[in-house]
Structure 1
Amino acid sequence: MCGIAGIFDTQNQAPIETSVLEKMNGSQFHRGPDEGSTFIEGPIGFAHRRLSIIDVSSGQQPLINAQRSAAIVFNGEIYNFMEIREELINAGFTFTTHSDTEVILQAWAAWGKECVTKLRGMFAFAIWDFAQHTLFIARDRLGIKPLYYAQLANGQFIFGSELKVLEQHPLLDRQIDPLAVEDYFSFGYIPEPRTIYKQVHKLEPGFHLTIKAGEYQPQLQQYWQASFAEQLTQSSDDIQEELIHRLKEAVDIRLISEVPLGAFLSGGVDSSAIVALMSEIQGDKPVNTCSIGFDVKNYNETEFADMVVDRYKTNHQVEIVGSNDFDLIDKLANMYDEPFADSSAIPTYRVCEVAKKRVTVCLSGDGGDELFAGYRRHKWHMLEEKVRGYVPKAIRSPLFNLLGNYYPKMDWAPKFLRAKSTFQALQREALEAYMHTISLIPEARRNALYSDSFKKELAGYNSLNVFKRHADNFDSEDPLALIQFLDMKTYLPGDILTKVDRASMAHSLEVRVPILDHKFLEWANKIPSHHKLHGSNGKAIFKSSLESHLPHDVLYRDKMGFGVPISNWFRGPLKDKLRQRVLNGKLMDTGIFDPATLTNMVNGHINGTQENGQMLWAMMMFESFLERAK
C-alpha cells in the first residue's frame, strides 16, 4: 500500500518543479513511511511513498523499465501477478524485480490499455509512455484504492492518492462546487466523480484515463461494469458449496505478504466469515485478529467476536473504547480532506490503530452487505416495492402524499410509530424512494436548510441525478439488484472504501477486502435475489453457506452496525461545541444555509424534541472542512 502523485505538463511549457512535486509527495507520508522518491524527465514528474509489503528489498518506485520506454507509480496489490509474470516471461519479457509493480509495467508494454483487464486486485497506477508521450492512469473495478486528478489553467495535469496531495500545488483552484455540497448533504459523502472542489475529480472505479502531450482534457474510458444480467440456475445447496469455495479462494490469494498479517473481527457475519476461512486455510497457524469494544452495550459486539475467537483459537487483541471517544473530531477533516459524515470513521480509525500494533496487513469483511443484500434498507425497500405493486399509482401517490404530509414526525417515539418517512417513500417511484431512504438529509429538509441564494447556484440540480445516471447503465429488471447496483456505484466507493482507506493509511496499515474480489463479485451478482433476501432475512444464502463454519448466534443475531452515540454526545458533552461550531462558526459565513433552520435544528435536538444527530454531525464535519481549508 502506498501513495502516488504526479505532474504532467501537457503543453511542455516549463520543467516540472521538484519542490512542488516533493511537497505533494510529503503530504501523503502516512501512506508510505518506508521509502519515498521522485522521478522527473521532460514534461513528466512522478512521486511515490512506499509501505513495503511484497518484494520488500527491491520493489522501489517510481519504476522505469529496462528499455526506458515506460515508467510507473502504483498503489495497491495485484494478487495474480505471478500468473501474469509467467505469461509475460513465456512471451519473451524479462524482469529485474519480484514485484507486482514491474508486472504491470511489462503488461503495459505487452497489451497497452488492455493490461488493466488482466489485473486481479486493488490498484491505482499511472504509467508514462516515453515514445507515445502519453500518461495512462487506471483505478480498480470497485474503487478500493483512490485517485484524484485536476487539469490546471497552466496546462499541467496533476494527480494523487488523496485530495491533500493536489492541494499542495500552488495553482490549484479551491472553488467549492455547489453540486458537491448538495451531494454531500444528500449522501453524507461526495460520490464519484465529483469532489468538493470544482477543478478536482475522482477517477471513477472501473475507469482509466489517457492524456497526451498537447491535449488539455483526459480521455476517460470505462473498462469494467458490475452486471446482474445473468442468473444462476443451480440448487441452493450447490450455490452454497460454490460460494464457500470461491470466497475461500479469494481469501487465500490475499494471504501473500512479507510482513505480519491479520484480520479485523467485529463479531459481525462478514468479518467472522473471513476469519473462519483464513483459519481453515492456515491450519495450525493461528490468525491474528483484533477488535474494539465499547463501554456502551448497544454498541458493543465483543461477545460475538469472542465466539469466533474461541472456535478458531485466534491470536486475538481487543481494546475497549469509551463512549465519549470524540477527540478525533478535529482529526477527521485532515484525514478525509473533503466533507465526510460517516461517524463510524471514529471506530474504524480506532480498530486500525489497534491492528497496526501487531500487523501491517489486515483482511476485512467489507462488501458483504452490498453483495448479499444485508442492509435493513434493502428489506424495507423491497417491502415498499410490494406495496407499490399492490396499490395503483393513481391512488398511491395522493394517499401516501396526504399521510406523509400530515403524519407527525415523532423523532422521540419508538421506531414502529415513526411512519412518516415510510409514507413519504411510498408516494414515490422506486429510484426516488430509495434516494429518500438513504438520504442523510431528505430533500424537503435540504430545501429548508439551504439559503435562497444557494438554491439559485444549484439551478435545479438534485442529487437524485447521481442515481439516475447509474440506473441508466443497469442491465437487469430485478428491483433488489437495482439498489444493490446503486450501492456498489455510490455508497461502497464513496463511503465504505473511502473510510477504510483513510483510516488504515493514517496508521500505515494495508487493508485487503476478499469479498470485493471482482471475480467473486461477478459470480455473486448472478445469485437470484430470493436467495439473498429471503423474507426478512438479508444475506440468507451467505449465512446458510456459513452454518458449518460459524456459531448460530453470530450468523442469525440482529445486525448492530459500527457506530458511535453521536445523538447523546450532542445532548451532553458536545452540546456547547455543537452550538459554537454550527451556529457561531464558519457555516453561517458561507451563504449556503438558512440561519433560522440551522438554529432550529440545533435547539430542537438538544432539547430532545427532534432527532437530528446525523444531520448535525454532517454540519460539524462540513464546518471542520471549512476550518481546514481556510
Structure 2
Amino acid sequence: MHSNGGRFTITFNGEIYNFREIRSALESLGHGFKSDCDTEVILAAVEQWGLTEAVERLHGMFAFGLYDQRLQTLQLVRDRVGIKPLYYGWNDEGFMFASELHAMRTIQNWQPTINRDALCMFMRYGYVPTPYSIYENVYKLIPGSVLTLTKDELRSPAGGFSPFATDSSSSPSKYWSVEDVYESGGSNLFQGTLADAVAECENVLSDAIEARMVADVPLGAFLSGGIDSSTIVTLMQEKSSRPVKTFTIGIKDHAYDESSDAKKLADFLGTDHTEHFVSASDALDVVPNLQQYYDEPFADSSQIPTYLLSKITREHVTVALSGDGGDEVFGGYNRYIHAPKILDRLNWVPNLMRQGLAGALLHGPWSLYGAGLKLLSPVLPESMNDRWLEITIPKFADLLSSRSQREFYDRVTLLWPTDALVLNGHRTQTRLTDVDGLKFAAGSSEMRCRDLLSYHPDDILTKVDRASMAVSLEARVPFVDHKVLEFATRLPESFLTGNGKGKVVLRELLKSKLPDSFTFGKNKRGFSIPLADWLRGPLKEWAAALLDRQKIESQGFLNADLVQRTWDEHQSGTKEYAYRLWNVLMFQAFLEAHHS
C-alpha cells in the first residue's frame, strides 16, 4: 500500500488493536482515509510523526517493511515482544525479506546454506534463537527493533552490520526492549499490598483483553483449565454479553489429559465450549506436515496439539485469545520458584563436593535409585515416578555445577548436553548476553527476563503463530501486551513465586472470581503429549526412517554414531531421550521436506 502523498510504501503483516484511536487523532490533524484498515493508518502516522514516534504509538502484533521513496531507504519493523516473524538477508542479487522462509525459498537463483552454528543452537534449545535463522546470511529481526537500510545496503550489508542491536547505524536499533523494562521495573517496585496488586493486575489485563476482543469476525479463546487460560476466559466472559466460545484439546491418555479442568470452568462460566480429543493416530496424521507449518526446524512437541487445537478452533471462529505468556510474565515455571533457593544452598557447598555428588548421581546404580523411589512412593507425589527419576537425576546432577542464575538457566534449558552432535558446528553468541551486567531485583527476575528474550518469542510465540496461521486462525496473546509486561516487572517476588506455586497475583485474581472448588493447586503439565511412548510405538517406524544411519552420514550434518546410540537407548527403555530425539527428528524432517 502507498501513502497518500506517494512517499511511503508498506508491506504489512499483523494487527494494530488501537488503530481506530490513532486514526481519530490523525483525522483531527487533517488526514483523510480511503479505507477502514490499520495499514493505511500506519502510513498516515509515519507521515505525521515519523517512524519512531509512529511505532511507539502502535499497540498490537506486527511486522512490516516501509520504503521511503524520497530517502531511498527501507526500514523493517517488528513488534515489541516478537509475536509476528520477520526474516531478512542478502543473496548474490541483493536484499530479501519475508514473514516466512517459504517465501524466500521461492527466490530464483538463491541456494540457501544450512548454518551449522545455528543448527548447533537448535539442537541445544529446540528452536533457532533470534537473530539467527537456520540459513547462513538470513536473520530474524530482533523484537522491538527497526532496521534501516540505505540504497547501497540493499545491495550488500555494510561493513559494520550485525544482526544484534548495536550502536552501528547499519544494525537494528531498539525502540522497546525487555531488558530495559526489567531494569526499570526492578528500580521502581510496586509499593502497594497484594490486594492492590491484584486490583491493578485485573485493570491492566482487562484492558489488554478488551483491546483484543475487538473483531469484525467470530472470536473465541483457547481453554486448557490452567491458571493462564482460565484467567483470560474468566475476564473475557465478564466483558461479553453472550457466551464466549472456548476450545480445549484433550489427550487420550489419562496421565496427560486435563480437559476435565477446562470443562469444569466452562460449565461454571457458561461458555460455549468445544472439546476435541487427540489420539496417537491424530498425531501421525499431523507429523508429516509439520515442516509445512514451521518453515525452519522447530522442536517443541506441543506443536502437535497446538496445531490440532487451532484446527478445531478455526472451524468455529476466526480469532482466538490465548493464555500463552502467563508463566513467563507472572512467574509460573518451576525454575523461577526453585532456582534462587537451590543456588543459595549450593553456594555453601564446596565445588569439589558438588562434582563428587554429581558423578555419583550420574554413574550410580539406577536400580538402587528405583528401589529407593518405590520405598518412598507412599509419601511422594504421583508425578515422581520412575520416569520422573530417569529425567530428573541427570538434570539435577548437571545443575550442581551452577554458580549463578545465568549458569543455572543455561543448564536447565539445555536439551542436548554436547556440541559433538553437530559436525563442524559451534555454540555462538545469543541475545541472552544482552542482560549480562544488568541489575535485577532479587528472585526470579533474571530468569524471567531471559525467557522473554529468547524462549518465549522463539519457542512459545512461534509455536502458536505458525500453528494458528497454518489454518488461517488469528491467535492473540493478552499476557504479553507491553503494558501488562511493564506492570508485572514491578511486582515484588512475593507477589509472583512467594507461595511456592508461582503466579501468586493470578491465583489471587481467580480466587476473587471463582468458588473455592477451583484451587489450581496441582502442577499443570502444560501442553504435553506422551512423546516418549509414541516414539516407541505409533511413531517408531516414521522416526526410524528419518534416523537411518546411511541417510545421516550422507547428509553430513550430524554425528550418526551419537544419534544411533541415543535412539537405541531410548528404544530399549534404559534411557528417556524423547526430547533430544525430537530435535533431531524435526531437523531430519526439515531436510527431507526442503532440501532432499
TM-score (norm 1): 0.84
Aligned match of 1:287 in 235, 244, 252?
244
Q: Please give the alpha-carbon distance, in whole angstroms, between the structure 1 residues aligned to 2:40 and 2:198.
A: 38
The C-alpha deviation readout for 1:486-535, integer Å capped at 9, x for no partner, is 10011111011111111101100101111111011111111112211124
Cα distance in 2, alignment partners of residues 506 and 614 from structure 1: 24
Report if the CA contact (8 A) 1:586-1:626 is conserved: no
1:247-258 correspondence runs (5 A)? 247-258=205-216
Residue 426, structure 1, aligned to residue 400, structure 2: yes
One-letter identity of the residue aligned with 1:145: K
Between the aligned partners of 1:586 and 1:621, the Cα distance in structure 2 is 15
Higher relative CO (Cα under 8 Å, sequence separation at least 6) belongs to 2
Q: Distance in 1 between matches of 2:270 and 2:437?
A: 46
Is 1:296 aligned with 2:236? no
* Equivalences for residues 258-407 of structure 1 within 5 A: 258-282=216-240, 284-324=241-281, 325-391=283-349, 394=351, 397-403=354-360, 406-407=363-364
Tell me which amino acid in the other structure corresponds to 1:537. K
Change (3 A) 1:165 1:475: farther
Out of 47, 52, 62, the position equivalent to 1:109 is: 47
Tell me by how many angstroms 1:105 deviates: 0.6
Q: Against the structure 1 CA distance between its residues 397 and 258, is the aligned structure 2 distance closer, same or farther, given a 3 Å change threshold? A: same
- 2:28 paired with 1:87: no
Note if contact 2:246-2:273 (Cα within 8 Å) is conserved in structure 1.
yes
- Whole-angstrom distance in 1 between the partners of 2:478 and 2:439: 25
Superposition pairs of residues 595-610 of structure 1, within 5 angstroms:
595-610=560-575
Partners of 2:260 and 2:532 in 1: CA distance: 25
Cα–Cα, structure 1 residues 576 and 149, in superposed 2: closer, same or farther, change >3 Å? Answer: same
Q: Which of 530, 533, 537 is residue 501 of structure 2 equivalent to?
A: 537
The residue type paired with residue 372 of structure 1 is F
SS in 2 for 1:127: strand
* SS of aligned partner of 1:500: helix
User: Residues 357-380 of structure 1, C-alpha deviation per residue, up to 9 Å, x if partnerless?
Assistant: 111111111100000111123233
Residue number in structure 1 paired with 2:377 = none
One-letter code of the match for 1:86? S
Alpha carbons 1:404, 1:421 under 8 Å: kept: no
Shift of 1:402: 4.2
Task: Report which stretch shifted further, 90-99 or 108-117.
Answer: 90-99
Q: 1:230-241 maps to which residues of 2 (within 5 A)?
A: 230-241=188-199
AA matched with 1:601: T
In the other structure, the counterpart of 1:78 is: 16
Distance (whole Å) between structure 2 residues aligned to residue 247 and residue 333 of structure 1:
34
- Does structure 2 retain, via aligned residues, the 8 Å contact 1:396–1:426? no
Q: After the TM superposition, which of the residue ranges 98-107 and 347-356 deviates more from structure 2? A: 98-107
Going from structure 1 to structure 2, the CA distance change for 1:473 and 1:427 (only over 3 Å counts) comes to closer
1:378-435 superposed Cα distances (whole Å, 9 cap, x missing partner): 233233222234335x556544454455446789835357433213212122212211
Matched, 1:495 2:495: no
- 1:118 paired residue number: 57
- Structure 2 residue 144 is the aligned partner of structure 1 residue 192: no
Q: Does residue 526 of the first structure (1) align with residue 469 of the second (2)?
A: no
Q: How far did residue 602 of structure 1 move?
A: 1.1
Counterpart CA distance in 2 for 1:378 and 1:609 is 30
Q: 2 CA distance for matches of 1:629 and 1:519? A: 40
- Equivalent position to 1:134, from 48, 54, 73: 73
User: Residues of 2 paired with 1:409 and 1:331: CA distance?
Assistant: 38
Structure 1 residue 574: deviation in Å?
Answer: 2.5
- Code of the aligned partner of 1:362: A
Paired residues, number: 554
CA distance in 1, matches of 2:396, 2:345: 11
Mapped pair 1:553 → 2:491: no
Q: Write the letter of the residue equivalent to 1:357.
A: E
Name which of 535, 544, 557 aligns with 1:579. Answer: 544
Partner amino acid, structure 2, of 1:314: T
| Deviations 1:549-572, CA, capped at 9 Å, x for gaps | 235435323212111111111212
Residues 387 and 576, structure 2, Cα contact 8 Å, conserved in 1: no
When structure 1 is superposed on structure 2, of 159-168 and 571-580 the one drifting more is 571-580
Identity %: 36
- Preserved CA contact (<8 Å) 1:425 1:434: no
Three-state SS of the structure 2 residue aligned to 1:419 is helix
Give the Cα–Cα distance (whole angstroms) in 2 for the partners of residues 175 and 409 of structure 1: 43
Residues 65 and 236 of structure 1, relative CA distance in 2, 3 Å threshold:
same
1:106-148 per-residue CA deviation (whole Å, 9 max, x = no partner) reads 1111222311111111110111111111111100010001101
Secondary structure of the equivalent of 1:107? helix
- Are the equivalent residues in 1 in contact too, given 2:362–2:393 (CA < 8 A)? no
Equivalent residue, structure 2, for 1:32: none
Matches of 2:352 and 2:441 in 1, distance apart? Answer: 24
In 2, Cα distance between equivalents of 1:222 and 1:409: 50
Runs (5+) with no aligned partner, structure 1: 1-62
Corresponding residue number in structure 1 for 2:108: 170
CA RMSD of aligned residues (A): 2.0
Partner of 2:375: none
Q: Which residue of 2 aligns with 1:466?
A: 430
In the other structure, the counterpart of 1:213 is 151
Please give the alpha-carbon distance, in whole angstroms, between the structure 2 residues aligned to 1:359 and 1:384: 45
Partners of 1:264 and 1:363 within 8 A in 2:
yes
The secondary structure found in structure 2 opposite 1:131 is coil
CA apart distance, 1:479: 4.5
SS for the counterpart of 1:237 is helix
Aligned to 1:626: 591
Q: Distance in 2 between matches of 1:530 and 1:406?
A: 38
Which residue of the other structure, out of 578, 581, 584, is the alignment partner of 1:616?
A: 581
Distance 1:471 1:396 in 2: 30
Q: Which amino acid aligns with 2:14?
A: G
Aligned residue for 1:64, secondary structure, equals: coil
CA-to-partner distance for each residue in 1:569-602, whole Å, 9 max, x for gaps? Answer: 1212222332221134632323333332222111
What residue number does 1:570 align with? Answer: 535
SS state at 1:210 partner = strand
Q: Deviations over 1:223-268 (max 9, x none)?
A: 1112223311111110011111111111011111111111111111
172-181 or 316-325: which moved more?
316-325
Tell me if structure 1 keeps the 8 A contact 2:297–2:590: yes
Q: CA deviation at 1:475?
A: 4.2
Is the deviation greater in 407-416 or in 353-362? 407-416
Question: Alignment partner for residue 512 of structure 1, among 456, 469, 476?
Answer: 476
8 Å contact kept, 1:356–1:507: yes
**2:208 alignment partner AA:** A
1:437 aligns with 2:412: yes
Which range is displaced more, 554-563 or 157-166? 554-563
Match of 1:55 in 2: none
| Correspondence for 2:36 | 98
Give me the whole-angstrom Cα distance separating, in 1, the residues matched to 2:503 and 2:279: 31
